[in-house]
Amino acid sequence: MTAVNRVAIVGTGVSGLAAAIRLARAGVVVEVFEAETELSTLGSGISLQGNALRAFAELGVWEEASAAGFPFDGMGMRAPGPQAPVIARREEGDDPGTGLPSAMGMPRAELTRILHEHAVRAGATVRFGQRVTGVNVTEDHAELLLESGPAGRYDLVIGADGLHSTVRTALGISAEPEHTGMGIWRAFVSRPAEVQFTELYYGGPCYIAGYTPTGQDSMYAFLVSDAGDHFGATAEEGAAAMIEQSRAYGGPWDQVRADLAAGNAQVNYTWFTQHVVPGRWNRGRAVIIGDAAHSCPPTIAQGAAQGLEDALVLTELLVEREALDEDLWEEFHARRVERATAIVDASVQLAEWQRDGQDHSADVPGLLGGVAQRVAVRA
């Protein structure tokens, strides 16, 4: 017996689809509502740490995810300049408990596709083009409202609808993402053979420059600098901006610039945000998870991983318990709020170090090592 029999999930991002997979496999009737008319293909690549990979294994999607991505060990740091010398290399080895690698890169669209296919295979119904406008919560049910009218009554509504969450607003939760003052250019490009793991360059004209392998022939490259209004930039303008800002970085960046100049790269831009909803993430029979509940700069690659942890902890409790009661919510928040807050704080600290104009290069490996230990502990 499960704590819920019928659940509505808002959003087809990582956390929403992960929750759909676990609940549908347990026999719960799951309906997923997505405002867009199809799965998103936006974005470039995504960096995933060990806790995200363990989540994939727990969800039963690891084999497909690893085949679609590029598993690797640890990360490296290079100095800016034409020669781009390697100044640090951190190796973590495979997880001794699971045998999984310490990290992986993959195309974002492939991750979404794999999770969606597994959710549907498990029995979840995914409804595209369904924009949620509100949630009404009573003691014994939650009603989901769409632009087209009421969607029905559910034992639980899970808002996994991202940074600008409609469910969060509908529940009267005022905490919202705040801009950190930094922005990031990302480009999906070809992978030079020498790129075998994430490498970061600190300093130079950008706060951070780097790249992560996402497949045998692909990787994504990124540049972090002060936030600007680049959201209306054309593909050509975005490529030109990345070429100009990356000229101080040698090594594999030479090939990145060649791809950008040839028009062989998908470029996108976004701002860094930070927030954690303090206290409870639920209001009765509705709850928010993932980016709706917390967001952080991608400086330690934990955004998607923390959303996955939210989904797995929540659905573990929903599947194992017999009632959706205060004890369940107390345990969920005890396991998630403090942990998510610590990850956001570490992500923000690393971003702030880049902005304060001081040399923290000696501190970065220690912070990243501490984060690696923290995420190795199961939520």
DSSP track, 300-354: GS-HHHHHHHHHHHHHHHHHH-SS-SHHHHHHHHHHHHHHHHHHHHHHHHHHHHH
**Amino acid of residue 186:** R
Q: What are phi and psi of 66, to 5 degrees?
A: -65, -35
For residues 166 and 17, the answer to whether their CB atoms sit within 8 Å is: no
Cβ within 8 Å of residue 165, ≥6 positions away = 159, 288, 291, 292
- DSSP 8-state symbol, 31: E
Helices (H) and strands (E) in the chain, counts: 10, 19
Reported in sequence order, the residue ranges of the chain that DSSP labels E, i.e. its strands, are: 6-10, 29-34, 45-49, 70-72, 75-78, 86-90, 103-107, 125-128, 132-137, 142-146, 149-154, 156-159, 178-190, 198-202, 208-213, 218-226, 266-276, 286-288, 294-295
The backbone region for 81, taken as left when phi is positive above 0, alpha when psi lies in -120 to 50, beta otherwise, is: left
Q: Tell me the sheet residues that pair with 48.
A: 104
3-state secondary structure of 32: strand
For residues 50 and 96, the answer to whether their CB atoms sit within 8 Å is: no
Residues 15-43 as b or e (16 or more Cβ within 10 Å = b): bbbbbbbbbbbbebbbbbbbbeeebeeeb
Q: What are phi and psi of 250, to 5 degrees?
A: -95, -155
Reported in sequence order, the residue ranges of 162-228 that DSSP labels E, i.e. its strands, are: 178-190, 198-202, 208-213, 218-226
Please tell me the predicted confidence (pLDDT) of residue 87.
92
Helix/strand/coil percent split, the chain, to 5: 35, 30, 35
By CB atoms closer than 10 A (0-12, 13-18, 19+), residue 146 is middle
The backbone region for 40, taken as left when phi is positive above 0, alpha when psi lies in -120 to 50, beta otherwise, is: beta
- DSSP 8-state symbol, 191: P
Q: What are phi and psi of 126, to 5 degrees?
A: -110, 120
By CB atoms closer than 10 A (0-12, 13-18, 19+), residue 217 is exposed
Angle between helices 108-122 and 14-25 (to 10 degrees): 20
Please tell me the predicted confidence (pLDDT) of residue 69.
97
Please tell me the predicted confidence (pLDDT) of residue 92.
87
- Divide the 379 residues of the chain into consecutive groups of 10 and give the mean pLDDT of each group: 97 98 98 94 84 97 98 94 92 89 95 98 98 97 96 97 97 95 95 96 92 96 94 93 97 97 92 96 98 94 96 98 97 97 92 68 56 53
For residues 329 and 34, the answer to whether their CB atoms sit within 8 Å is: no
Please tell me the predicted confidence (pLDDT) of residue 363.
58
